Amino acid sequence: MADGTAGGMARGRVVAVTGAGRGLGRAHALAFAAEGAMVVVNDLDVGREGEPGTGAGAGGAGGPAARVVAEIRARGGEAVAHGGDIATAQGAASLVDRALDAFGRLDTLVNNAGFLRDRMLVNLAEDDWDAVVRVHLKGHFLPLKHAAAYWRAEAKAGRRVAARVVNTSSGAGLAGSVGQGCYSAAKAGVLGLTLVAAAEMGRYGVQVNAVAPAARTRMTQEVFARTMAAPGEGKFDAMAPENVSPLVVWLGSDASAGVTGRVFEAEGGRITVMEGWHPGPTADRGARWTPAEAGEAAAGLLAAARPPYPVYGAQAAP
């Protein structure tokens, strides 16, 4: 970009980022633009729990998406705003159309939009469950579906496709999190969707990966305020959302060629490749077990298995 900080890893790519008005999405949009990408900044302008936001309008002047677009343009980059609800078919389709109308194509999709409604299971209303699963899981599926349809059509028309999708999961999706049953279930679903999409879309030149970030955003600021002190002046801010964006930019660029169907944790200066479910100890008697025999076998297998990763917020067993 014009401020002299531009790189080139994403130069010429068209990138759509959902939920990009604040937090991680904003950081991703700015980072892609700094690396030369043309960015579609999606944001619906809602609050932490999905309630109406500033009243400025999702994609309108003064709204969060428009402010990020202005930031990018002020630094010499190219960006447009999109205010559609990506958890609807119309909103997701219009996100792809916005990229095509503004820049002529779409190369990278970063699914990031979401909000929280934290409740213990016995206090979790059905409407809360539906709202969180809708924005996180359906809000990943629909943009992915419409972008994938575009890329498949491009590939079938004989045009080269080097598309990238970066989905946003969470440590809650990997390990579970007390008080976040709906969020954990949705984010675990994102991981399953990522694996399937990577397997299905590879033949068309599409790579699909997921990140599980830990950063200070509107969704997490209360947690981090309780557990972490703010860094001193000049010190590295390990919880800044900008720490996650370099990995997302790499995954969304040509430089990540050959990487697909993988999940990464990203926090501060740490990047971890997550290895997921793998078969552990097993027993096969070649015939049906009795309940007592099955229990005895299971107990022996558990004794030989690694203990499960602890659920976030769970108290240790007495």
Catalytic residues: 170, 183, 187
Cβ(42)–Cβ(113) below 8 Å? yes
Within 8 A by CB and 6+ apart from 101, the residues are none
Cβ(205)–Cβ(151) below 8 Å? yes
- The amino acid at residue 202 is G
Backbone angles phi, psi at 223, to 5 degrees: -65, -50
- Sheet (strand 163-168) strand order: 78-82, 38-42, 14-17, 108-111, 163-168, 206-214, 263-267, 270-274
Helices first, then strands: H and E counts in the chain: 10, 8
On the 0-12 / 13-18 / 19+ scale of CB atoms within 10 A, 182 is buried
Q: Residue for token digits 């010499």?
A: 76
CA–CA separation, 228 vs 224, rounded Å? 5
β-pairing verdict for 14-17 and 206-214: unpaired
Backbone angles phi, psi at 55, to 5 degrees: 90, 0
Distance of CA 16 to the CA centre of its chain: 13
CA–CA separation, 139 vs 92, rounded Å? 8
Residue 23: which H helix or E strand, with range? helix 23-34
Cβ(25)–Cβ(19) below 8 Å? yes
